[in-house]
């Protein structure tokens, strides 16, 4: 994988949370915290990315990730291009490489990339010029690092330290990049217990989650501090594998009766988009303990923190004296 950090340990790209250490994750969360305002309003504008250009390249659908990257970049003072891939020259057969080169020739500083195929953000990070940064905005079922960061920020703001927490992730874990990235961040931050509750046929290889405990639904919810529901990812399944919605809800839907097993102050999370009354009931999605909309707000702050960090690295590298640059080699 392309290195995410430079030789001084500074964030250069954000491709995965798997190799980020606790200090780096906490510093991004701390910075994101400073952008948040008490009433939940959008963060104040800064000029940290003035004169920079951020390009959204989403080869898969998105509402919240794409919109929040765009808002975050604008709040930092950047110019933003959001390429409509369906009407771009990709539709005329232009290769991904030529698309990147074309946009790079317009002085793009950050590409925000979402793709259905694993490896694409890393591939792009390996071919862009040294002053360009790649941010992974969702990669097949394997990585969604900014979602992982906004999830742990949301948990930290409600629950404080992670060491005594039981976090239950419930649903289609096999196809979920959120379960992987959020799970990795939770483990790095020292979560007390990570419980994974997956219906039959939607469980991942346990080797992918060596520090998690796989449980049934009732055991997973019992006294949990945090319950996160996941969407059934139909777009990653063959038609014959897609569960019947009513049957899924009956067997695995988060209902008030099932949530009563969790602690009274357990927060309810969902990365969105939700399939209401499939993986989560209307009542639970909209209950007072639901922090689902807060997760979205926190996404803007997290993405500001990440973009500010990579641009600070690139600025520092560009302004290094030749002597210092030589010493580094």
Beta carbons of 142 and 170 less than 8 angstroms apart: no
Closest CA to 179 of 264, 236, 135, 124: 236
CB of 159 to ligand CP, least distance (A): 21
Residue nearest to ligand CP (CB): 65
* CA 51 to chain centroid: 26
Q: Which is nearer to ligand CP, 69 or 249 (CB)?
A: 69
Structure tokens at 141: 């079922």
CB of 88 to ligand CP, least distance (A): 19
Q: What 3-state DSSP class applies to 184?
A: helix
Q: Which is nearer to ligand CP, 29 or 314 (CB)?
A: 29
Beta carbons of 82 and 112 less than 8 angstroms apart: no
Beta carbons of 9 and 133 less than 8 angstroms apart: no
* Region of residue 156 (left: phi > 0; alpha: psi -120 to 50; beta: else): alpha
CB of 151 to ligand CP, least distance (A): 9
Q: Which is nearer to ligand CP, 169 or 314 (CB)?
A: 169
CB of 214 to ligand CP, least distance (A): 23
* Distance separating alpha carbons of residues 114 and 305, to the nearest angstrom: 19
Beta carbons of 14 and 306 less than 8 angstroms apart: yes
Angle among Cα 174, 176, 177 to the nearest 5 degrees reads 130
* Distance separating alpha carbons of residues 140 and 115, to the nearest angstrom: 6
Q: Which is nearer to ligand CP, 66 or 303 (CB)?
A: 66
305 by Cβ neighbours in 10 Å (0-12 / 13-18 / 19+) ranks as buried
Q: Which is nearer to ligand CP, 60 or 219 (CB)?
A: 60
Q: In what order do the strands lie in the sheet with 193-197?
A: 212-214, 193-197, 166-170, 226-229, 267-269
Q: Which is nearer to ligand CP, 43 or 299 (CB)?
A: 299
CB of 302 to ligand CP, least distance (A): 12
**Binding region for ligand CP (CB under 6 A):** 62-66, 138, 147, 271-273
Q: In what order do the strands lie in the sheet with 110-115?
A: 79-83, 53-58, 110-115, 133-139
Structure tokens at 100: 């990147």
Q: Which is nearer to ligand CP, 254 or 314 (CB)?
A: 254
CB of 273 to ligand CP, least distance (A): 5
CB of 167 to ligand CP, least distance (A): 17
Q: Which is nearer to ligand CP, 115 or 317 (CB)?
A: 115
Residue with tokens 């060491």: 163
CB of 145 to ligand CP, least distance (A): 11
């Amino acid at each position: 994988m392309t290195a995410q950090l430079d030789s001084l340990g500074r964030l250069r790209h954000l491709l995965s949370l798997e190799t980020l250490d606790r200090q780096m994750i906490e510093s991004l969360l701390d910075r994101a915290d400073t952008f948040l305002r008490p009433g939940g309003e959008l963060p104040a504008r800064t000029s940290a990315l003035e004169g920079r250009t951020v390009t959204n390249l989403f080869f898969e659908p998105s509402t919240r990730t794409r919109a929040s990257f765009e808002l975050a970049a604008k709040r930092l003072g950047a110019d933003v291009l959001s390429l409509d891939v369906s009407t771009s020259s990709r539709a005329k057969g232009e290769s991904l490489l030529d698309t990147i080169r074309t946009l790079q020739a317009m002085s793009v500083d950050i590409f925000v990339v979402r793709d259905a195929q694993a490896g694409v953000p890393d591939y792009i990070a390996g071919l862009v010029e040294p002053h360009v940064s790649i941010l992974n905005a969702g990669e097949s079922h394997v990585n969604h690092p900014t979602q992982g960061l906004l999830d742990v920020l949301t948990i930290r703001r409600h629950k404080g330290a992670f060491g005594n927490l039981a976090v239950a992730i419930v649903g289609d874990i096999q196809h979920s990049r959120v379960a992987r990235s959020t799970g990795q961040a939770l483990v790095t931050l020292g979560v007390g217990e990570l419980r994974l509750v997956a219906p039959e046929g939607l469980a991942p290889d346990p080797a992918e989650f060596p520090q998690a405990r796989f449980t049934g639904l009732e055991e997973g919810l019992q006294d949990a501090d945090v319950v996160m529901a996941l969407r059934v990812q139909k777009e990653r399944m063959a038609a014959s594998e897609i569960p019947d919605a009513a049957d899924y809800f009956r067997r695995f839907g988060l209902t008030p009766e099932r949530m009563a097993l969790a602690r009274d102050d357990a927060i309810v999370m969902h990365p969105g988009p939700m399939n209401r009354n499939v993986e989560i009931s209307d009542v639970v999605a909209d209950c007072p303990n639901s922090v689902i909309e807060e997760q979205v707000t926190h996404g803007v702050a997290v993405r500001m923190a990440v973009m500010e960090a990579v641009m600070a690295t690139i600025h520092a590298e560009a302004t290094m004296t030749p002597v210092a640059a030589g010493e580094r080699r």
